[in-house]
Amino acid sequence: MGSLEGKVAWVSGGSGGIGSATLRRFVKEGAAVVCSDINDEAGEKLVAELKSAGGQAVYSHCDVSKLKEVQASIDGAVSEFGRIDVLFNNAATSTGGYVADLDPDGWEHSLRVMLTAAMYGMKAAVPHMIEQGEGSIISTSSIYGLVSNAGNAPYATAKAGLINLTRSAALDYGRKGIRANCICPGAVETPMLDAVVGLGLKSREAIADMHALGRTIQADEVANLVLFLASDESSAITGQAIPIDGGLLVGCDLTGVPPMQ
């Protein structure tokens, strides 16, 4: 028996990176899954892979910035599989610039995809979870929900807001058997990290060297944390923002003393 046997999970941003790694992990642990995304080709290819491995999986085209599409996708998951046990708000976008130079439309889109969309997911899934008497809500925040950097206000603001939205949901619904937590990844080997390296300001090696582990994080490692939070093994954990950053945020080097090699 897998740790998610009999459970149903809905994952936004499911077609690549952390989302696809998590869906593979969920299916391996016995969950029926819904891959929600706007990248239809990648999403359908992933679902075909999951099915060929014996998993229960469906693809759902869903623009998470639109409440009607999120509601329809989650209701469709319940219609297909009879329940929803895990809501994983994982969709993300990327835009940036110095604060006074930000494009208002880009700002609004960033907050809608990474913050408002999580509220939409909760709005659609929580009534089903209340009826069941249980559920786990997991959202992908970031180390940039805990700290920030120059030129990154839309992303960092959305991710910080997501942490307190999660805390609010944990308080609102804890007595209904529903838990809510955030993960806060650091530099994960995904297309988003490729885009960061592509800016040409820091090499992949320099980014890896900033971590206490001396390396970046693999998507499968993040999926393991999501699996833990989705499973009953984390039954006493709610309202938390959990870094998974390889020790990226634990130090501040003012001395230049090198770590042991």
- Please list the active-site residues: 155
Hey, how many other C-beta atoms are within 10 angstroms of the C-beta on 39? 16
Question: H or E element: which one contains 15?
Answer: none
Sign of the torsion angle spanned by Cα atoms 59, 18, 126, 85: positive
Sort 195 into a burial class: Cβ within 10 Å, 0-12 / 13-18 / 19+: exposed
Q: Which of 149, 147, 145 is nearest to 118 (CA)?
A: 145
| 73 within 8 A of 34, measured Cβ to Cβ | yes
Q: Sign of dihedral through CA atoms 229, 234, 238, 244?
A: negative
Region class of 230: left (phi > 0), else alpha (psi between -120 and 50), else beta: alpha
- Helix 67-81 × helix 117-132 angle, to 10°: 30
- At 52, is the secondary structure helix, strand, or coil? helix
Residue 53: both structure tokens together: 């491995």
Who's near 194: CB < 8 A, 6+ residues apart? none
